[in-house]
């Protein structure tokens, strides 16, 4: 039987021991040292992580996403937990993005039909649920890349390009920026055809990875 409170206490003790190190160094050290104390069983792991996420602590949430990645907890049945966490505990762009990179994007890559769930998030009243829509289409690597079809990219953008929240707009622009590297011709034509339909922040972010001449051309339209 996994003792949730004992593991939570161990995490907090590790943080106290490392209080003089930098934030990112501390997180990585705690993640590494605590990994062996986690249950091997996937079901027990996800229940433990659900308990930890419900503590509402950003550092613990970061650890959970890292452990999910290391354990590859991407079984379809776990999406129920991940969607609930998204709606109930993602309340800033940092949590949103790390959750998308480590959890939601791998889930969507392995289970393409979950795109239907993702599109439902565009209707949410919560800013970071909507931001998760474009960001979940980005694979985090040495250089971000889009690992979904260009049609899905445009479906997301069409649904969110006029969102009033700047963090959602930036997410949409970020998606287009990296989609250009994968689908340069399609994204170029899309941007050219929709130049009048984008908030400037979306358009500005979308052009960051385009060649200088393309940027000059599109900015002049």
Helix boundaries (H) for the chain: 4-17, 23-35, 42-53, 58-71, 79-89, 93-99, 105-110, 115-120, 127-135, 150-160, 166-182, 184-193, 200-206, 212-219
* pLDDT over threshold 90, residue 17: no
Token digits of residue 163 = 């969102």
Please compute the mean of the pLDDT values over residues 64-88 and round it to a whole number.
98
Give the model's pLDDT for residue 55. Answer: 95
Please compute the mean of the pLDDT values over residues 66-82 and round it to a whole number.
98
Q: Is 176 helix (H, G, I), strand (E, B) or coil?
A: helix
Contact 175, 146 (CB under 8 A): yes
How many CB atoms within 10 Å of residue 157?
25
Give the model's pLDDT for residue 18. Answer: 82
Tell me which of 1 and 5 has the higher pLDDT.
5
Q: List the CATH code of the domain at 95-221.
A: 1.25.10.90
How does pLDDT run across 105-157, given as a tens digit for each residue? 999 999 999 999 999 999 999 999 999 999 999 998 877 899 999 999 999 99
Give the angle subtended at the CA of 194 by the CAs of 193 and 195, to the nearest 5°: 105
Does the pTM exceed 0.85?
yes
Distances (CA, A) of 206 to 34, 97, 188: 39, 18, 10
Contact 203, 173 (CB under 8 A): yes
Tokens 């289409």 identify what position? Answer: 137
pLDDT band, residue 19 (cuts 50/70/90): confident
Rounded-to-10 torsion of CA 118, 128, 144, 172: 80
How does pLDDT run across 84-101, given as a tens digit for each residue? 999 999 999 999 999 999
Residue intervals of the chain classified under CATH 1.25.10.90 are: 95-221
Q: Residue 72 — left, alpha, or beta (φ > 0 → left; ψ -120 to 50 → alpha)?
A: left
pLDDT band, residue 81 (cuts 50/70/90): very high
């Amino acid at each position: 039987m996994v003792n949730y409170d004992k593991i939570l206490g161990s995490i907090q003790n590790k943080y106290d021991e490392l209080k003089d190190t930098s934030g990112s160094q501390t997180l990585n050290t705690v993640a590494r040292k605590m990994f062996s104390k986690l249950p091997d069983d996937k079901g027990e792991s996800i229940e433990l992580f659900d308990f930890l996420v419900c503590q509402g602590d950003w550092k613990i949430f970061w650890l959970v996403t890292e452990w999910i990645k290391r354990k590859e907890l991407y079984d379809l049945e776990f999406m129920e937990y991940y969607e609930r966490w998204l709606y109930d505990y993602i309340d800033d762009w940092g949590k949103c993005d790390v959750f998308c990179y480590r959890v939601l994007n791998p889930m969507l890559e392995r289970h393409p039909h979950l795109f239907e769930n993702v599109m439902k998030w565009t209707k949410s009243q919560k800013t970071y649920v909507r931001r998760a829509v474009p960001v979940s289409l980005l694979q985090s690597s040495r250089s971000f890349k889009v690992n979904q079809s260009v049609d899905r990219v445009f479906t997301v953008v069409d649904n969110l390009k006029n969102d009033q929240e700047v963090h959602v707009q930036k997410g949409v622009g970020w998606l287009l920026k990296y989609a250009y590297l994968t689908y340069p011709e399609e994204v170029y034509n899309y941007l050219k055809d929709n130049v009048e339909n984008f908030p400037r922040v979306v358009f500005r972010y979308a052009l960051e990875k385009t060649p200088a001449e393309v940027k000059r051309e599109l900015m002049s339209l």
